[in-house]
Structure 1
């Protein structure tokens, strides 16, 4: 079965047992969501200073967003706010800097994905333009697209303020982590550090923003996805 609808608040994630990543000394992970059929996972990964973590693999896609500290790769530093997307291919390792690193990582076994490979430092992400989110409230919803494939799968940083009317419904699976700010969804309050996995076709919202909110999203069309348009109604 695919990953199920998941919502974890910061205190929930803190209570998850960290487990060593087999074959990677000094690397622990907390599993946030998992597909028991194909082994795809989303995890918070803690990397000790000087330890290496896999950022590309022949086994499937790797998406990595740096939350704290920094990773060193090919002479470049990927600090908090950096993003890497790697399709299946040759293995690649990044080494944590002296302060270590904490990352959100998606390890996806999905042959239908088609995102281009990118490696964006935090400075390069900062330099990307904010553009109006096409289906968002004018002047209140902006996005930075980090990568996008022909199928419509993408990764982005969102900046949201005000109220988004109606309910969002997408044809893609969505991993979302709140980076800053807070919003209410029904009776729940999502603060920085809240993680949500919304499977394709799962309604969610409306959202009322307590503080301007910023989040990172990995949006991936499942192999059986239809071509129906994503919407907020």
Structure 2
């Protein structure tokens, strides 16, 4: 299976809190291929969201993030990233923890490392 074929439409799936997410974090799944581990979501963090309890995060998959609106502050790097900025993280790349004083909405695309599908 692969992600579904979808022409422009208004997504009708509900915003949900992902399993294990910090309070204030919700996602809207735009396209998903659970067999291959590929996923496209919009992720929203409410104002005041703080992921410091999770510490630094590393994934075993690729993750691309585009900040649609708002800002994230990286506590480890001491830097703030704002709307229009983009990150591409290979498997194992450390990132976070984060805070978002005023909230943030991100487009997040995840997929497995080639050869691990």
Classify the TM-score, shorter chain.
0.7 to 0.9
Distance in 2 of aligned mates of 1:56 and 1:63: 14
Q: Structure 2 vs 1, CA of residues 30 and 102 (structure 1 numbering), >3 Å: closer, same or farther?
A: same
TM alignment of 1:4-153, pairs within 5 A = 4-9=4-9, 12-13=10-11, 15-25=12-22, 26-48=24-46, 49-52=48-51, 57-73=58-74, 74-111=77-114
Distance in 2 of aligned mates of 1:99 and 1:58: 26
Q: Structure 2 vs 1, CA of residues 16 and 86 (structure 1 numbering), >3 Å: closer, same or farther?
A: same
Distance in 2 of aligned mates of 1:97 and 1:69: 8
Distance in 2 of aligned mates of 1:51 and 1:86: 21
Contact 2:57–2:97 (CA under 8 A) maintained in structure 1: no
1:101 deviation in Å?
Answer: 0.5
| Bigger RCO (CA 8 Å, 6+ sep) | 2
Give the match for residue 118 of structure 1.
Answer: none
- The alignment of Structure 1 onto Structure 2 pairs a total of residues equal to 110
Q: Any stretches of 5+ residues in structure 2 without a counterpart? A: none
Query: What SS does structure 2 have at the residue aligned with 1:43?
Result: strand
CA offsets 1:99-143 (integer angstroms, 9 cap, x no match) = 11000001111325xxxxxxxxxxxxxxxxxxxxxxxxxxxxxxx
Rg comparison, structure with higher value: 1
Distance in 2 of aligned mates of 1:41 and 1:77: 26
Q: Higher strand share goes to which structure? A: 1
Q: Any stretches of 5+ residues in structure 1 without a counterpart? A: 113-222, 224-233
1:39 deviation in Å?
Answer: 2.5
